[in-house]
Amino acid sequence: MSQQKIRIAIDCMGGDVGLPVTVPAALLFAKQFPDVRCLLVGDAQAIAQALRAHGSIDASWYEILHASEVVTMADSVEVALRRKKDSSMRVAAQAVKDGVADACVSAGNTGAWMAITRYVLKTLDGIDRPAIATSIPNQKGGATTMLDLGANVDCTAEHLLQFAIMGSALAGIVDRIERPTVGLLNIGEELIKGNETVKQAAELLRNSGLNFYGNVEGDDICKGTVNVVVCDGFVGNVVLKSMEGLAKMIANMMRDEFTRDALSMAAGLVAKPILNRFRDRVDNRRHNGAALLGLRGIVIKSHGSADAYAFGYALQRARGAVQNGLLEGTTRAIDHLRASLREAALQENDSKPQSESGS
């Protein structure tokens, strides 16, 4: 029975808060989805205590995997990887590697989580570097998949192509979009169009067989012009954080205005149901959970500051990825593209159709 369940390894120690967020989130998640089994990774005693505190009596939904160490937000990648070999992150990733879990989730130190999962799981054939992808709600009522969000600072055109392949597979499989459109993030038409890497990437994308839309600009992310927006990790990270900052500022300003005086507060009461509906629509906690793509296993990164509600969405994302066969689908997409590139190379006698692969 447990065999057929979707098994998620959860780093219970990670994130700004840790156990008081991860354990209740896991508890609720398991209640909502009886088809999952949670592997709670971390200090066994502390986890057991947190479970008791949250009144979990039924033990069928979880299993504790003990890990004696914790990677902190301040730890360097070096320390996380070489010195803390029994960290909750490491044990969670190893559970996927060993086939004990179908996916792993952490809200901890992003750099460490990337390094550890990459070291333990390795990259897929044809992928040089994993990328971080997430969904951003768009005007069309759907979500735009965007990558890379910070795994890769200096990217080549080939890396951007690989991101496009992975992002396309993600949108296709998880959002069930047939031949997702892919846009390359660039600057205004009237400016000198983008840097050299982006220009080369556009060329590669045009010949990739992907459903390449062409260049898109910053405002196309929320417009929902394309299903997948590709950029390097520096740009993606800065854009995502800028948007988060703006959303927070707007929310605060609105609260300010509705609490400014008695009359405003009365109006706020009247408008409350509408304001709540609005808040729910823009609430980015429901979009928590970025996928680390390109690894031989399903790896999800939750926002470090996620509360239990948001962390629950990251867990759901892991479940969805397993259920929809993200790993197999991505592998298939990459293999398919590599084969067609090889074929094209043979036909055109072009000697550099794809960068060298391997992790």
Contacts to a copy of itself by CB under 8 A = 73, 77, 109-112, 137-139, 150-151, 153-154, 185-192, 194-196, 198, 217-223, 231, 233-235, 237-250, 252-254, 257-258, 260, 264, 267-268, 270-271, 273-275, 277-278, 281-282
Structure tokens at 219: 């405002």
Helix extents (H) in the chain: 19-32, 44-53, 77-78, 88-97, 110-121, 157-174, 196-206, 220-223, 233-258, 262-282, 308-323, 326-348
Q: Give the integer Cα–Cα distance in Å for 312 and 54.
A: 15
Nearer to a copy of itself, 198 or 327 (CB): 198
Is the previous residue joined to 43 through a cis bond, with omega within 30 degrees of 0? no
Nearer to a copy of itself, 56 or 225 (CB): 225
Nearer to a copy of itself, 35 or 244 (CB): 244
Nearer to a copy of itself, 128 or 217 (CB): 217
Neighbours of 54 (CB within 10 A): 15
Eight-class DSSP state of 60: T
Q: Give the integer Cα–Cα distance in Å for 115 and 101.
A: 19
Q: Give the integer Cα–Cα distance in Å for 194 and 188.
A: 8
Q: Give the integer Cα–Cα distance in Å for 150 and 240.
A: 10
C-beta of 24: minimal distance to a copy of itself in Å? 25
C-beta of 271: minimal distance to a copy of itself in Å? 4
C-beta of 61: minimal distance to a copy of itself in Å? 31
C-beta of 328: minimal distance to a copy of itself in Å? 29
Nearer to a copy of itself, 57 or 274 (CB): 274
Q: Give the integer Cα–Cα distance in Å for 176 and 145.
A: 12
C-beta of 310: minimal distance to a copy of itself in Å? 16
C-beta of 31: minimal distance to a copy of itself in Å? 31
Nearer to a copy of itself, 99 or 273 (CB): 273
C-beta of 353: minimal distance to a copy of itself in Å? 26
**CB of 96 closer than 8 Å to CB of 299:** yes
DSSP, collapsed to helix, strand or coil, labels residue 116 as helix
C-beta of 113: minimal distance to a copy of itself in Å? 9
Nearer to a copy of itself, 68 or 139 (CB): 139
C-beta of 224: minimal distance to a copy of itself in Å? 9
Nearer to a copy of itself, 177 or 243 (CB): 243
Nearer to a copy of itself, 48 or 251 (CB): 251
Q: Measure the CA angle with vertex 160, ends 181 and 351; round to 5°.
A: 110
| Residue 197 Cα to chain centre, angstroms | 24
Nearer to a copy of itself, 271 or 339 (CB): 271
C-beta of 359: minimal distance to a copy of itself in Å? 16
Q: Give the integer Cα–Cα distance in Å for 225 and 207.
A: 21
First to last CA, the chain: 36
DSSP for 299-353 reads: EEE--TT--HHHHHHHHHHHHHHHHTTHHHHHHHHHHHHHHHHHHHHHHHT-S-S
